[in-house]
Structure 1
């Protein structure tokens, strides 16, 4: 049995090597992005572990078929960038890691909310521009306990976010197309997303990307939000219209945004050895705003998450290559 992992970051390597040693399985790894051209490195392997934000395309799965590779185990949750029909057409089984560390992402969302509500960006901007500090009305923040937090999506991550925001004393409301039943968490569902948007001081997104929620947060949505409200997106970039977000921030339609994921993310985001400068005009523009915290899709990035992403992905490959079924199959 032999596997290969693509788009490997340096922090994943110790966990890959340990898993290979513990399971006595040859696991190669490469920092290369998985494409039809780079798939040649996987010749002779029984399965592939992948982690990337760019598409897993039909051409790629046709190349899988050509090389006789039947298994792709993602090291992440999202499958919106995977052509699942093409995988099926080429007899490729896909698995993901549905819960590598929900608390890591939820913690990061709360971290962003605290940063923005306490106006840390304004303090940092003053220090950069003037090399001095002085108290300013711009620095006056609000307690989380004074605010209503709206959680969009009450899956594993959303439920952890509810717990954390409740721990800080916030009133928490939530919206989900498929509400959970018999929850012991202290929150209330709203009857519609619009109700949540109009009531919330902080809105935190925790749903997967779908065709239905593409650009769900757009100019019309931002007009519904309070002009003192903050948007946190640790979910998927496609949910938020970036142009409309920038306009809303510049015009004062909303007060701030924590953005961990943007539209059209490049492969460099997952490359721990990349030294390329950021050239995306929207990312640069957002990074210059004191009411924005923008990060490189790193909400998940804790020791526990990385260990679980590697271990679960490779365990799924081992099970599939051994002829067993796995709970994490997505196609």
Structure 2
């Protein structure tokens, strides 16, 4: 099957080629993201393979179908960048990677939490300049603190398990409670308990119309003063302007982001030789109690291997006309 692979970085090519050795698809790689300007590149391909910041809205999907594309294969878990209703109307199937390595994302969230709490990023920069002073680097023990896990799926449960290992009290919030989460020794929060009790809030839920800006001016005002916020899920969960105001007032004690609302124009690119025009992002990184990484929480050897293997199997299922194990449909 002929597949157009968009947003293809060197590591995508390496791992997809390795996984494709067992499947035999014709992979055509494009550095550019899929959008209205690049969709013509997919003409004549049976499928497109896209990532988190590629755009598969109704206009793009219509252009894809005119070019003969019948499948959108996401090499990620989230599918908020695909218009599923339009895909269904056009007869385009959509598949994703349901499960790759929840450990990779959860461990990165913990790493970011430790770094922002103990000011590792600031200490690193200081010692490189031979400054070994400790002023401004004080953190707090995680032991005995209350951690709120928003989204208790596989990643959220791994994160919760790690935090329980630190001796934290772990509260959860999820529209669909998980017995496995409670079996770890965590419990689901009562109404308003997260805001009043949580010293740390970590986001692990998908981006949906319901969860868009779940962290906003109102929820931040209810939060415990000085709480730390970690987001390794999707940028749209957080109202960035509201978070900036909470940082300025001290209501929010620290912020660790691996995702960002407007990341599509910035992340996965080397912009070190340019001036970034995103004023909001520039304000964020100017705070001493903010850490931003470029959507790398998933980026481990194990996770990339599984993502690519699953993506190629999804393509083969479609080509073989068998039921699609990881199909995503409009609700």
Aligned to 1:135: 134
Aligned to 1:93: 93
1:84-111 C-alpha deviation (Å, 9 max, x unpaired) = 1111111110011121211111001111
Change in Cα spacing, 1:273 to 1:256, as seen in structure 2 (3 Å) is: closer
Instruction: Check the 8 A contact 1:150/1:197 in 2, yes or no.
Output: no
Q: Which has the higher mean CA deviation after the structures are superposed, 203-212 or 13-22? A: 13-22
1:39-88 C-alpha deviation (Å, 9 max, x unpaired) = 33333322121114143111111112111211011001111121111111
CA distance in 1, matches of 2:274, 2:16: 26
Instruction: Check the 8 A contact 2:35/2:54 in 1, yes or no.
Output: no
Instruction: Check the 8 A contact 2:230/2:257 in 1, yes or no.
Output: yes
Higher relative contact order (CA 8 A, sep 6+): 1
**CA root-mean-square deviation:** 2.1
Q: Which has the higher mean CA deviation after the structures are superposed, 181-190 or 286-295? A: 181-190
1:216-275 C-alpha deviation (Å, 9 max, x unpaired) = 211221122222210001111111111110011111011101111111222442357996
Structure 1 residue ranges without an equivalent (≥5): none
Structure 2 residue ranges without an equivalent (≥5): none
Instruction: Check the 8 A contact 1:108/1:299 in 2, yes or no.
Output: yes
Instruction: Check the 8 A contact 2:33/2:53 in 1, yes or no.
Output: no
Residue 107 in 1 paired to residue 107 in 2? yes
Residue 312 in 1 paired to residue 310 in 2? yes
CA distance in 1, matches of 2:2, 2:54: 25
TM-score (norm 2): 0.92
Instruction: Check the 8 A contact 1:106/1:161 in 2, yes or no.
Output: yes
Q: Which has the higher mean CA deviation after the structures are superposed, 271-280 or 57-66? A: 271-280
Aligned to 2:328: 330
Instruction: Check the 8 A contact 1:47/1:71 in 2, yes or no.
Output: yes
Aligned to 1:174: 172
Q: Which has the higher mean CA deviation after the structures are superposed, 252-261 or 271-280? A: 271-280
Of the candidates 228, 241, 244, which is equivalent to residue 243 of structure 1? 241
Aligned to 1:83: 83
Instruction: Check the 8 A contact 1:116/1:256 in 2, yes or no.
Output: yes
CA distance in 2, matches of 1:37, 1:242: 28
In the TM superposition, what are the counterparts of 1:7-18 in structure 2 within 5 Å?
7-18=7-18
Q: Which has the higher mean CA deviation after the structures are superposed, 245-254 or 29-38? A: 29-38
Instruction: Check the 8 A contact 1:105/1:299 in 2, yes or no.
Output: yes
CA distance in 2, matches of 1:327, 1:21: 21
1:172-196 C-alpha deviation (Å, 9 max, x unpaired) = 111111101254211011123x211
The secondary structure found in structure 2 opposite 1:133 is: coil
TM-score (norm 1): 0.92
CA distance in 2, matches of 1:253, 1:268: 28
Q: Which runs of 4+ in 1 moved over 6 A?
A: 272-275
1:259-294 C-alpha deviation (Å, 9 max, x unpaired) = 111112224423579965533111111112111111
Residue 55 in 1 paired to residue 42 in 2? no
The secondary structure found in structure 1 opposite 2:8 is: coil
Q: Which has the higher mean CA deviation after the structures are superposed, 18-27 or 111-120? A: 18-27
CA distance in 2, matches of 1:244, 1:212: 18
Aligned to 1:70: 70
